[in-house]
Amino acid sequence: MTANADIIEALRGAGLAGEGDVVLEPLTGGVSCDVWKVATPRGPIVVKRPLPQLRVAADWRAPVERGTSEIRWLKRARGVDPRLAPEVLAELPGHAFAMRFLPGCPVWKDELMAGRVDAGFAARVGQGIAAVHAATAHDDGDRAAFANDAMFRALRVDPFILYVAQHDAALAPALTALAGDLAGRKIALVHGDVSPKNILVSADGPVFLDAECAVYGDPAFDLAFCVTHLLLKAVWSGDARLNAAAGALIAAYQAGIDWEDREGLLLRAGKLTAALLLARVEGKSPAPYLTDPEHKRIVRDQARASILAPQSIDALAANWKRTCP
């Protein structure tokens, strides 16, 4: 039996592949999953299977059940707005699944890295995140369906926040308290990995992918996670338009908050952004493009200062420096 034969047989069983040769064409870029593009009689599809050991230098393991959590998030987001996520076509063995392939939709990260920065699209990302949060806030059904605290801790809290706390005595109290607050808040459905690499640019707006970290928790995390990436890329590129894109995303998200006090959420998001910025230079999953020691220093110094003197996410983004002060 060939490698991945179980996936091929499951595709046939779901009516997504014929009896002839089925080719799993690997797609690159992921650290947590095997991802393939598959040609089928009904058009191309994408198959995704979670890995027990992530493809990073550090020892980083996570339960493969996160694949099922991602399926649930994609379906729930489509229930809010079908433009926000691709259609899930079938669930497969090993917590894998097949979803519709979306042609002609570049990855937002690729667009940003190529210098194509659109603040209007960033605003639509903010609107999309807020729409899911607003639709799921204080919902007992969603809370029960996404009680994935252990998984979220393994994928986000431990490697990004507590790992840094364990290696930085000066920041340990603040980061440990932040991790505890994050774990204790159950407010809305959180995607957990809202990164430009997980967002497609479609004619109808952003399409969100890779919701393996989905949990019912603090919506401030999604806002902070995405803004972190824009601010890191602003330092990497020196492009002021990325600061503007971050501001546009925050403003659009803020306008959609109707489930809690806006100022409180923005302050929590500011604290989380500072911690995540530091984690991308000091944590288990450093930003791969941030290789210049001076760029790392710029991020590290500003992140540490904001952890010690917290500020709201809009203020942090507005004050963010791309070069040495």
Written in H, E and C, the secondary structure of 78-105 is HHHCCCCCCCEEEEEHHHEEEEECCCCC
Within 10 A of 25 (CB to CB), how many other CB atoms are there? 12
pLDDT at residue number 49: 77
Domains belonging to the chain, first-starting first, are: 5-100 (3.30.200.20), 108-319 (3.90.1200.10)
pLDDT at residue number 62: 55
Say how far apart CA 112 and CA 54 lie, in whole Å.
25
Say how far apart CA 240 and CA 186 lie, in whole Å.
35
Burial environment of residue 216 by CB neighbours within 10 A (0 to 12, 13 to 18, 19 or more): buried
Tens of pLDDT along the chain (325 residues) come to: 344 777 777 777 777 776 666 767 777 656 667 777 888 777 788 888 776 555 544 445 555 566 688 889 999 999 999 999 999 888 776 677 888 888 899 999 999 999 999 999 999 999 999 999 999 999 999 999 999 999 899 889 999 999 999 999 999 999 999 999 999 999 999 999 999 999 999 999 999 998 988 999 999 999 999 999 999 999 999 999 999 999 999 999 999 999 999 999 999 999 999 999 999 999 888 999 999 999 999 999 999 999 999 999 999 999 999 986 6
pLDDT at residue number 56: 47
Structure-token pair, residue 100: 């519709």
β-bridge mates for residue 208, sequence order: 199
* Alpha helix ranges (H) inside the chain: 5-13, 66-80, 108-113, 119-136, 140-145, 149-152, 163-166, 172-184, 220-237, 240-255, 262-282, 293-308, 313-319
Structure-token pair, residue 154: 């393994």
pLDDT at residue number 57: 47
Cα distance between the two ends of the chain: 60
Which residue reads 């401030």 in tokens?
A: 220
pTM across the whole model? 0.89
